Structure formats: structure tokens, C-alpha cells
Amino acid sequence: MDPRARFKGRKPACTVQCAVNQEMLEQIQGKVLTAPERVFKRGTKPCLFGKGGTCCHVCNMGPCQIIEGVEEMRGVCGATAATVASRNFCRMVAAGSSAHSDHGRGIAEVFYETVHGNAEDFEIKDENKLRVVAYYFGLDPKKETKELAKEVAVKALEQFGQQHGELAFIKRAPEKRQAKWRELGVVPRGVDREVVELLHRTSVGVDQDYRSLLKASVRTALADGWGGSMLATELQDILFGTPVPIRATVNLGVLKEDMVNVTVHGHEPEVAEALAMAAQDPEIIKEAQKVGAKGINLAGICCTGNEVLMRRGIPIAGSFVQQEMALATGAVEAMIVDVQCIMQNVATVAQAFHTAVITVSDKAEIEGAMHIPFDHHHPVESAKKILREAISRFPKRDKSRVYIPKSKMDVVAGFSHETILYILGGRFRASYKPLNENIINGRILGVAAIVGCDNFRVFDEVHVELAKELIANNVLVVATGCAATGLGRAGLLSPEAASLAGESLREVLEAVGCPPVLHMGSCVDNSRILIALTEMVNTGGLGEDIDELPAIGCAPQWMSEKAVAIGNYFVGSGACVVFGPDFPTEKSQVATDYLFHEFKNIFGANWLVARSAKDFAAVMIDKINEKRKNLGIDKPKPRILFDMAMRRALESPKVTSPFHGLGCFGPTYLKVEEEEEKAA
Ligand code: SF4
Ligand code: SF4
């Protein structure tokens, strides 16, 4: 029986972005309540005080709803709208930073146990990156690997509890930026200290000047971007491998009717890495075959998906807004969830099918889900236990209720900042110089990052329309997180999509066989973008600091507090960030003006807001053009007229990052490499 028959003629009661999601929504309706339907059925819009940042509930005299400019409508304690909106903004930054950073701490602990011989299965995969990290920790990178790894593990953990001094990776930022941070007193001392201090500042009766609060929020955010997140990315690369371009597929069509489907959802890659190893174990495959399946099909959701997509080419079933949809296919035996962005409703949706939702982290259990604690000392053994639970569910699958949409799309992912060196510069000239040259000569107008979540309250495909608009205007796009998955669904992560780019960008992309949108990883991997921006500065010809680059970031469908932390560390690092469709301090003009205007005077970059894809594109392209004008490169120049001063600047980069000499990026498989090999 066609399972769609029962929905025939029935109009969907509500909508969700993306055609395949809508298709699944029609499947799921009537079986169990899901987020799009909840958005629809709630009817009302979110409370404007809460949405705009002017509801305070930090003490029991509240909650106080504040109206800016109305004296009687200040908080009972007299708190102004600016103070309250800034406090709420700070709390989001602190929570977001704590999430990324606790993820970083988690992987640092796995790393520590692994290199001290207390954990099986994992090993050092990128020895050269280990040496890069050791260099920034002030260790001797030439030391014997095992000894060095132990010292790196200790130093990495110390970054979280450090009380004084500066976080080690601060030294990776452009020198001018470091000097600015020191002058402003916003260099983070230790990851935990900055998060705790910011929370303290926002509690009742402490920091009550919006300027002081918002400046402090940058210090905490920097502790995330150049601390917790960067530690997570680097240690994951050392343990599981630094990503290189890899082909894979995305969307719900990656689920398979004849296999045990196991989705890995959340953010931390160690469980998914272990599951990937266990799924290839002949013993496990045999057990799957015994129940009538051909084997185990692993598929990712959210950022855990991005992690294993980038390193192993494991397909992604869906982004944040697709987590319930994946279960509604009726074809998933188990959804393994670690931490962050897992909607409580997945446990409810799973109960309508034969699916097990299995929590594995001690930090994150879900009512109605099964809990199998992941043993970091025996990862593959733990993973096998989880897979056996999934296998046991396969015979219970009701084939008449299975509906797997056909949609899936080929993507190329794995563009770490190291890989970009090779793609654009080739193996023999690995450098950001070609990127800078192409920006200076106008072939590439600038670089835009589309990052962050997707959101059930956004109905249009803003990421997709925006990316198309940007590339058509010769802006190179990089993407992370669920935004990257959405862009993958739309086909923009494939080299063929270069045909949608403006003429000059297309020429550059076609020369190297590169997609117009580069997938740079998960949420914590936004730290890769910080390093890429620094590389552009250090390569020369585009100014001396990140705030001079024709580069900008955006999060058009931000949902999580983590996005606020990410945006704030980009702004604090000198890159403007556009949020949408709304901004969390909107109901205080004073606080919002400070973030949107005064931050530019302080940090050289500011926040902005936009609503539609067209608005975003206009704001971002204007900003890029403004930077080009400031650099004196606003008039496109043919290569032959390349300014000699710029050429000299490019010929002698200001700073050569230590990893250039280490060749730690592994092979890439793009056209340029093959051509170079042939030529050699
Ligand atoms: S701290 Fe002030 S504004 Fe906030 S809830 Fe208490 S009285 Fe109201
Ligand atoms: S991009 Fe946003 S929704 Fe997606 S996994 Fe990251 S934080 Fe969650």
C-alpha cells in the first residue's frame, strides 16, 4: 500500500522550508505532532519582550517587561531596557560559549586518555597538526610524538581552567588584532573564567552599564572562538584527521530500505567515529545480515553529521529542521544523540515507530529515550553495543509505513583552511596568495560566510537564495553547520554549481574544479574561518587586520545561543556579521545601536540585521564593496595591470604561519592536483 494514500487530498496544515521537508511533513502529520505543526498551531507569535531582549527574570521581583524610554516601565530595580537587553545578550554569549567549550573540553579529555594509553581505538591521525598546536602551546614541536602528545593533552586541558595570562591560540590572530585586544583589555584569560565572569556580571545588581556588559561579552566570545571551539577543531583533527575534499551525499534519500539505518545526531564526533569503525566490523555486518539487512547505513544529522561527512564521507540525512523528518521515514532503527540541538520531540516521534533514540552522553539524557553511556576508554566496544540495539530493531520495522524520499544530492565537503591553501595555490605553491590576488584583481569580489542553524520559524530557503545571489555577484561563499547542509541539499556544494557563479568567479572556480560554496565543517569549525581570515591578512595585499578584508559573515536563520557566541567572536575579531530574521536586543535601541554602530569604532566591525535573502545580499555586498574601496581595489583591474605595490606585498607575506612548512594537510583530489601530477 502506498503510505501516502491516507494523506491524499489533504492539504498540509502548515509549512516548513525545503520541498523534501514539506513532502515528509505531509507524511508525518496525523501520526505525531512535530515542530512545524507546533509553530502553526500555537498561532501567536513569540512575545515581543522576550524576542527583543527586554524581559528580565534574573530575580524574583520580576519577570519585568521593560519599555525603553518609559520611566515607569524600567525594571522594579530600575534596570533600563539597554541593561536588560545587554544582560540577556551576554547570557546567550555565555551559554553558547559554554556549549562549544564544553565540547572542546570533552574532546580534550578523550585526547588525554588516548595519548596516555587509557583509551583504545583512537590514535594520532595528524601528527603535523599536533606539532602546530604544540608550537602555539609553547612546546618544542620537534619532540618525539608520543611524549609531545602527552604534553599537548595537558596544555589543552589547562586552557579551560587557566586563571591568568592569555589563551594560547590568541597568538594565531593577526598581530594588529592582538594589539587591539590587549589595548581594550578583552584578551581571554581562560575559557571557564570568561564564561563564569560574564554570567556573574549579568546576575542581579552587578554590571549595570550596557557598554561594559557588551564589551565583556566579546571577551567571552573570543574565549570560545579562539579557545574552546578552536581547541575542539584542532584536537579532533589530530585524532580523527584533518578534512580534505571528499565526495558524499546529503538529504533524506541517503537512508536505505535494505539496511539498518543509524543516524548520528548532535555535535561531538567521537561517538560517530567509533560507530563508523564498528559498522565495518565483519561480526557486526554478519549480525545485521542475520536479521535480513545488508549491513549498517550510518547517516548524519546536524553537526555530528558534518564532522563525519568532512572526514569520512558519511552521508548527511538532514539538518536541524530535518531531525523529526528522518524518523518519520519509518526506516531509522536508531538515532544516536550526543549533545546540543537535539529536540526533545525526537523521543516522541520515535515512539510512533520502531525506532530507538539512544542518548550516550552523561550530560544529556532525554525522557522517553534509551540511555547507553558511551565508554570513552572502549569506544568501539561501546559502539557495538549501540549498533546491536539498532540491529535488534530492524525486524520490527513496519515496511508498509516506510517512506524514504528520493531526494539526495552529491556534495564535495572537507574544505579545511589548510585544504584551501592547496586548492588555490596547488601543491607546489600552497598559499592564500592566489585567493588574495583574485580578490585584488576583482575576479573574486570578496568572501562571505553563511553559517549557523536552520529554524522552523523561517519558511523561505534564505540560505540558498542568498548564496545564489552572492556567487552570482562573484562573492566566494564558505559555509558551516546546518546552513552548509541546506546549501548541499540545493546542489551548491558541487563543482557543477560553479555555473551559477558570476563570470569572473566562475573562471577561478573552473580552473581548480571547486564548488562556489566551500563546506568548512561544523559549528566549532567556524574557528577554521578565523584562521583562514588570518591567513588572508598574513598573506598580504589586503590590509593588516581582519577588519580590512572584504569579508563578511551571516547567520540568516540563527536559532541557537551558540550562533550569538559565534557572531560575537567574529565581530570581536574584526568581521562584520549579519543576523536574521531578527536580532536579540531589538527592543532596546540603545543596546542595539551600540552593537550596530559603536562596536565598529571599538572593534572595527559591527553587527547588522536583515530579513530576506535579498536584504542579506544587499547588506553583505555593500559591506564588501566598502572594504574594497577602503583598500583602493574597488575598480576591477585586469591581471596585467596588477599594481606593483600589491604584487610586492603579496610576494613577501608579513607572517608565515608555522603550519605552512609542515605540510600537514594531506592530499587533495581536485582537478588542480591531478593536472599538476600529470605535469610533473
Ligand atoms: S533584576 Fe530588576 S529588572 Fe530584573 S527581574 Fe529583578 S527587578 Fe526586574
Ligand atoms: S548549525 Fe545550529 S542547528 Fe545546526 S547543529 Fe549547529 S547549532 Fe545546531
* Separation of alpha carbons 653 and 536, rounded Å: 10
* 325, 24 contact by CB (below 8 A): yes
Q: If you average pLDDT over residues 3-22, what whole number do you get? A: 64
CB of 79 shorter than 6 A to ligand 1? yes
Position 330 scores a pLDDT of 96
Every domain of the chain with CATH number 3.40.50.2030 lies at: 252-401, 412-556+610-679
Is 576 annotated as a binding-site member? no
Bridge partners (DSSP) listed for residue 413: 246, 519
What is the CA(563)–ligand 2 centre distance, in A?
8
CB of 341 shorter than 6 A to ligand 2? yes
Nearest residue by C-alpha to atom 5 in ligand 1: 62
**Which cell is 210 given?**
550596557
Q: Report which DSSP code applies to 366.
A: -
What is the CA(332)–ligand 2 centre distance, in A?
21
Q: If you average pLDDT over residues 220-243, what whole number do you get? A: 97
Classified by CATH at the fold level, domain 412-556+610-679 comes out as Rossmann fold (3.40.50)
By 3-state DSSP, what share of the chain in percent is helix, strand and coil, each rounded to 5? 55, 10, 35
CATH architecture of the domain formed by 62-238: Up-down Bundle (1.20)
> How far are the Cα atoms of 96, 342, 354, 444 from residue 322, in angstroms, in the given order?
22, 11, 18, 33
What is the CA(584)–ligand 1 centre distance, in A?
18
In the predicted model, is pLDDT for residue 644 greater than 90? no
Q: Report which DSSP code applies to 43.
A: -
- What is the CB neighbour count within 10 angstroms for residue 11? 6
Omega before residue 63 within 30° of 0, cis: yes
Q: Which residues have CB under 8 Å from 442's CB, separation 6+? A: 474, 504, 633, 635, 636, 637
* Separation of alpha carbons 96 and 566, rounded Å: 8
Is 64 annotated as a binding-site member? yes
Among 49, 51, 45, 52, CA closest to 62: 49
CB of 54 shorter than 6 A to ligand 1? no
- Ligand nearest, relative to CA of residue 57: 1
What is the CA(58)–ligand 1 centre distance, in A?
6
Summarize pLDDT for 207-229 with one digit per residue, the tens.
999 999 999 999 999 999 999 99
Q: Quote the ipTM score.
A: 0.86
Say how many Å lie between the first and final Cα of the chain, rounded: 59
Q: What percent of the chain has pLDDT above 70?
A: 91
Mutate to test the pocket of ligand 2, among 233, 320, 456, 566 (most ligand atoms within 8 A of CB): 320
Omega before residue 405 within 30° of 0, cis: no
- Ligand nearest, relative to CA of residue 522: 2
What is the CA(523)–ligand 2 centre distance, in A?
7
Locus of grid cell 565483519? 282
Q: Which residues have CB under 8 Å from 8's CB, separation 6+? A: none
- What is the CB neighbour count within 10 angstroms for residue 76? 10
Query: Lowest-confidence range among 240-244, 608-612, 668-672?
Result: 668-672
Q: Report which DSSP code applies to 556.
A: T
Is 59 annotated as a binding-site member? yes
Q: If you average pLDDT over residues 477-495, what whole number do you get? A: 96
CB of 56 shorter than 6 A to ligand 1? yes
Minimum-distance ligand 1 atom for the alpha carbon of 66: 3
- Ligand nearest, relative to CA of residue 63: 1
Nearest residue by C-alpha to atom 3 in ligand 2: 453
* Separation of alpha carbons 82 and 84, rounded Å: 6
- Ligand nearest, relative to CA of residue 59: 1
* Separation of alpha carbons 363 and 252, rounded Å: 28
CB of 55 shorter than 6 A to ligand 1? no
Is 302 annotated as a binding-site member? no
What is the CA(418)–ligand 1 centre distance, in A?
48
* Separation of alpha carbons 129 and 152, rounded Å: 11
In the predicted model, is pLDDT for residue 636 greater than 90? no
CB of 560 shorter than 6 A to ligand 2? yes
Minimum-distance ligand 2 atom for the alpha carbon of 454: 3
Summarize pLDDT for 29-83 with one digit per residue, the tens.
778 899 998 998 887 789 999 999 999 999 999 999 999 999 999 999 999 999 9
**Helix (H), strand (E), coil (C) string for 83-102:** HHHHHHHHHHHHHHHHHHHH
Every domain of the chain with CATH number 1.20.1270.30 lies at: 62-238
* Separation of alpha carbons 186 and 192, rounded Å: 15
* Separation of alpha carbons 591 and 563, rounded Å: 19
* Separation of alpha carbons 291 and 285, rounded Å: 10
Alpha helices (H) in 203-254, listed in sequence order: 210-223, 229-240
The radius of gyration of the chain's CA atoms, rounded to the nearest angstrom, is 24
User: Who has greater pLDDT, 419 or 13?
Assistant: 419
CB of 61 shorter than 6 A to ligand 1? yes
In the predicted model, is pLDDT for residue 639 greater than 70? no
Is 303 annotated as a binding-site member? yes
* Separation of alpha carbons 37 and 32, rounded Å: 10
Query: Is 252-401 CATH 3.40.50.2030?
Result: yes
Minimum-distance ligand 1 atom for the alpha carbon of 79: 3
pLDDT grade for 3, boundaries at 50, 70 and 90: very low
- What is the CB neighbour count within 10 angstroms for residue 193? 18
- Residue 573 backbone class (left: φ over 0; alpha: ψ -120 to 50; beta: rest): alpha
